[in-house]
Structure 1
Amino acid sequence: MPDYSDTQDLLDPFGIAASMGEWCCLLKAAQELKDVDEEMITTMLEANASGSASEADRAVKIGSIVNLMRSLKLDPDVVRRHDPAAMRELEETCLRCTQRGRCVPELWTGNAAETYPEFCPNKAHLDRLRHAKAMAFQRTQIAGAGVCL
């Protein structure tokens, strides 16, 4: 018996019907995605009305100080564990910050570690944390070398 699986469809020699079938499937999938998007938008608007969007906004703003700390080689998790009050103060200052228009682009471009002193209201606190980290590192280096002070 001959195998006709590799031959073209005699009624559709150019594969147009098959392509149209695939196209219809894609259109149906696109419509379903559009419907899901509309549901999500409605849900987000309802959430915004109930106030949960302010929590999302808060999380985004706090993310800025976390990202800045990481760019300064400070570990926000370590700070949160060892000095939760300091971390809360950093976060609250970040939430009240009026320089977000400067901060976010500096974080995106990777320049924040060099430019934050020009605009960040957390500058003094971050500088103290950086100094404390440097001093702790220096103490471990001296202790590791066996030097007595």
Structure 2
Amino acid sequence: MLGQFQQLGSAPWQPTKTHAIVESAINLFSDWLKHRREMRELRDMNSGDFARIARDLSVTPAELDAVVRQGPHASDELPRLLKSLGIDETTLSRTQPFLQRDMIRVCASCQQKTLCKHDLDAGTSAQHYDEYCPNASAIDELGQRP
């Protein structure tokens, strides 16, 4: 019987597609738990501290609350969009930090995430973002439209 186990165990273990799906699900659940923990911390914070943080970020407490509720990945599309348009995010954050912060806030609350992600994945963002992106006017302000 021991020989049977050795035979089964003789081939090196290979990750399967199922393993990747399970790992992805675990990571999503972990991110969700972390977000819930952060939301609890914000609820426990007194309104004065929350308002002070919002003021430091140059947003209203309501805007800060809305962005926080969207989660930590709510504006992940923005760096990808900027890169696809040839806009250096590091330079933007150094030269126009308030504009960048506003763009992050706008991206986080955008209702066109599915369309944006599709265009980013397809490599067609530069041709279509101005049709739906609420940051299109800010990008125009940068004077770097393709």
TM-score of the superposed pair, with normalisation by structure 2:
0.58
Gap regions ≥5 residues in structure 1? 1-14, 135-149
Matched with 1:137 is none
Q: CA deviation at 1:60?
A: 2.4
Q: Is the 8 A contact 1:74 1:130 kept in 2?
A: no
CA separation of 1:110 and 1:20: change in aligned 2, threshold 3 A: same
Q: Is the 8 A contact 1:70 1:76 kept in 2?
A: yes
Which protein has greater RCO, CA pairs closer than 8 Å, 6+ apart? 2
Candidates 95, 117, 126, aligned match of 1:104? 117
Alignment of 1:44-59 (within 5 A): 44=31, 46-51=33-38, 58-59=71-72
Matched with 1:20 is 8
**1:82 aligns to 2:111 (yes or no):** no
Q: Identity, % of aligned pairs?
A: 22
Helix, strand or coil at the partner of 2:134: coil
The Cα RMSD (Å) is 3.9
Candidates 63, 71, 74, aligned match of 2:84? 71
Higher radius of gyration, 1 or 2: 1
CA separation of 1:118 and 1:20: change in aligned 2, threshold 3 A: same
Matched with 1:124 is 137
Q: Is the 8 A contact 2:129 2:136 kept in 1?
A: yes
Q: Is the 8 A contact 2:35 2:71 kept in 1?
A: no
Separation in 1 of the partners of 2:76 and 2:29?
A: 26
Letter in 2 for 1:106: D
Q: Is the 8 A contact 2:74 2:109 kept in 1?
A: no
Runs of 4+ that moved beyond 6 A: 38-42
Q: CA deviation at 1:50?
A: 1.4
Q: CA deviation at 1:127?
A: 1.4
Separation in 2 of the partners of 1:60 and 1:73?
A: 22
